Chains A and B, each alone.
Chain A
Amino acid sequence: MDNTTRRSSAAKPTGESTDEDLMADFCHGSQDAFNELFLRYKQPLFGFFRRRVADAAQAEELTQESFVAVIRASSRYEPSALFRTYLYAIGLKILSAYRRKAAFRATFTGAPDAYREPAALGNLEMEYVLRQAVGKLDRLEREILMLREFEQLSYVEIGELLHLPVNTVRSRLFRARLALHNLLADPTPTADAEQARIEESA
């Protein structure tokens, strides 16, 4: 686990600057403020990409690209929402752009499965089963579940990121958890998944 932390204005320890304060300081030229923000979110954001992108190097690039986008947009930053929401919104946009480009390449190269390799080639059986089960969820429900479980976002934040009502987020999250529970209770892998698993272990 990547020790995901929730350090927003609602959960900051006493005496520690909030993310929004740090971002405001960075907008006024404080390099230290950005270093602190980077320290807080480098691992969560890398985990965000790593769980969604097959290639580890690509996840690093996307992480770097997201922070670069934050730096470039600092002059236009307005603290209308939590910095965490702002950061993951940037991450989702960059991820969507990457997926479109990858899909466009796959349209002509015909190798979309190359991007479907598991994110982490760990040896743990449970980790493999988890990846397979999450991958079988509906796309939107999977995104909501991952934002909730791994990024620890609230329903409101998820709704803002995905442009969904809170009630929809709640109902879809419930369905995702229900489906994932059933998948983990009866993880019957398909022939393809079993073959991929054999290749992976080899």
Chain B
Amino acid sequence: MNTIAEHPVAPEQIMAFFDGELSAADAQNVAAHLDGCSACASLVGQFRDLSQSLTQWSVALVPQSVEDAVKGFAARTSATSKSGKPPAPFLFGIWNGKFVPFAVTGIAACALLMVGVEISDSYRNARIIPHRSEVVELPNKDTDTAGYDAPASVPPSLPAQSPMNVATPAIAAMAQQTSALDGNAAASPAASMQLNSPTTSAAPMIAHTASLAITVKDLSAARASLDAILARHQGYAAQLTVESTANFPRSVTASLRIPASGLSSAIGDLKTLGRVERESQSGEDVSQQHTDLAERIKTARATEESFRGILQQRTGKISDVLEVEQSIARVRGEIEAMEAEQTRLEHRVDYATIELQLNEEYKEEIPSAAFSLRFHNASVAGYRNASEIVASIILFLVQYVLSILIWLALVCIPALLIWRYRKALSRL
């Protein structure tokens, strides 16, 4: 069949003319063109031949059974239709089979998804529950800490919690009874706290800290010199670490404590060990911390004394007495913790801290190991790496392969069904 672009009549128009689909005027024009154009006339002949060929696709006659069934149904319907309209299609015709495959596939996918999510949640909950139980088993601080339980490391800037403010009602009742018996207002802890005014220290308390990084030629000699310096200045090493790794320079990291009065001379001695790479000094004023701590200790002691006074003049029940003893023990523990903190603070002032870093100058060494030894080491390392990779793959598969398969099934099965459905539909 030839397309004739240069002709005034389009091939589609010729086809429409052949099919009798043109208006009278258009048909007249096309007919006039066909009279003078053999190519277009042959196109019509080709259309005619094609239609003639298709007539050879014959179909058998419709069976008599179909005719009988349809006419019988028509007769029955005609007889019953006078009684009323036929029933409306189910669900207004929506459920006519068109959405059945999609509905079934969608429901199956949703069900699988829900199962997957449920399994995932169960697995996650199973991992979380032990932690939850641990949390539940913790003592309830709100109910147990009726007394003064502030930690010893509470920052000094925060307001100290008064033991009287958290005293139990039993203690308060006993205190009232004691006050009534004695008629002495000064016996109450609050009164004693009001009488004690804070004391301030005139001399500032400075905690000195210095940092030195020194590169030395011989670390062993430097280490010996370091010990000598410490002995000379009556200091000590609070912490000291020596690192010696192959192909890397050796180093010493130390935290030195030197009496504050000899800090400058000690730093000067340390600088003689080698080339100073870095040096810094700082001082922290801890006077306020020390003062606050002293006041808190004093207050706590007064509270302790008050409790002891209450205990000696007790008139309450045994349970109240026990509660007072517990309070005394708690206050005593707090006093000891604060005293330790005070001692540590004073020690920081008395002894300056020097963070020292000694690095040895690195010298490349000719490897002495033979090739066979290096080959052996490389082989062992390679075997270890390979086995670790294999083990990692196996562990990964064991841990995740089931989940991956489930998710693949969730995604692939609906996709496969839809693909097969569309493929089958296209073949029909």
Contact = CB atoms under 8 A, between A and B. Distances in A.
The judgment on whether A and B are partners is: yes
Interface of A: 1-2, 29, 31, 34-35, 38, 42-43, 46-47, 50-51, 56, 60, 63-64, 67-68, 71-72, 74-75, 96-97, 99-104, 106-108, 110, 112-113, 115-116, 119-120, 122, 124, 126-127, 130-131, 134, 139, 148-150, 154-155, 170-171, 173-174, 177-178, 180-182, 184
B85 interface: yes
B94 interface: no
A97 B96 contact: yes
B375 to A, nearest CB: 58
Interface string B357-372: 0000000000000000
A116 B11 contact: no
B11 A174 contact: yes
B427 A112 contact: yes
Given A101-B97, A103-B421, A170-B21, A150 B15 contact: no
Given A34-B71, A63-B62, 15 more contacts: A60-B62, A72-B86, A75-B86, A100-B97, A104-B100, A106-B424, A107-B420, A116-B428, A130-B57, A131-B57, A134-B57, A155-B19, A173-B15, A174-B12, A181-B50
Nearest to A135: B427
A112 B78 contact: no
Nearest to A116: B427
Given A107-B417, A177-B50, A60 B70 contact: no
Interface in B17-55: 19, 21, 46-47, 50-51, 53-55
Contacts, number: 161
Contact of B421 (A64, A104, A155): A104
Nearest to A29: B78
Overall SS of chain A's interface:
helix
B60 A149 contact: no
B8 interface: no
B332 to A, nearest CB: 81
Contact of B71 (A35, A108, A171): A35
Nearest to B57: A130
Choose among A107, A115, A120 the residue with the greatest number of B CB atoms under 10 Å from its CB. Answer: A107
Contact of A181 (B21, B46, B67): B46
A38 B81 CA distance: 19
Question: 8 tightest A-B contacts by CB?
Answer: A106-B424, A112-B424, A103-B425, A103-B424, A46-B62, A47-B59, A107-B421, A67-B70
A89 B47 CA distance: 26
Contacts of B100: 100-101, 104
B1 A42 contact: no
A63 B71 CA distance: 13
Contact of A2 (B58, B66, B85): B58
Choose among B58, B70, B101 the residue with the greatest number of A CB atoms under 10 Å from its CB. Answer: B70
A148 B310 CA distance: 115
B50 A60 contact: no
B57 A113 contact: no
Contacts of B407: none
A34 B74 contact: yes
Interface in B291-321: none
A122 B78 CA distance: 39
Contacts of B1: 177-178, 181-182
Contacts of B422: 103
A97 B70 contact: no
Nearest to B417: A107
Range, interface on chain B: 35 or more
Contacts of A177: 1, 15, 47, 50
Contacts of B85: 75
B56 interface: yes
A155 B16 contact: yes
B11 A42 contact: no
17 contacts: A2-B61, A31-B78, A34-B71, A35-B71, A60-B63, A75-B81, A75-B86, A101-B100, A102-B424, A103-B101, A104-B104, A107-B101, A120-B58, A130-B53, A170-B21, A177-B15, A181-B1
Contacts of A170: 12, 15-16, 21
Nearest to A171: B12
Contacts of B69: 64
Contacts of B55: 1
Contact of B54 (A74, A100, A108, A150): A150
A155 B15 CA distance: 11
A46 B59 contact: yes
B140 interface: no
Contacts of A180: 50
A99 B67 contact: no
Contacts of A74: 77, 81
Contacts of A130: 53-54, 56-57
Contacts of B19: 148, 154-155
Nearest to A106: B424
B98 interface: yes
B73 interface: yes
A120 B60 CA distance: 8
Given A122-B58, A124-B56, A60 B66 contact: yes
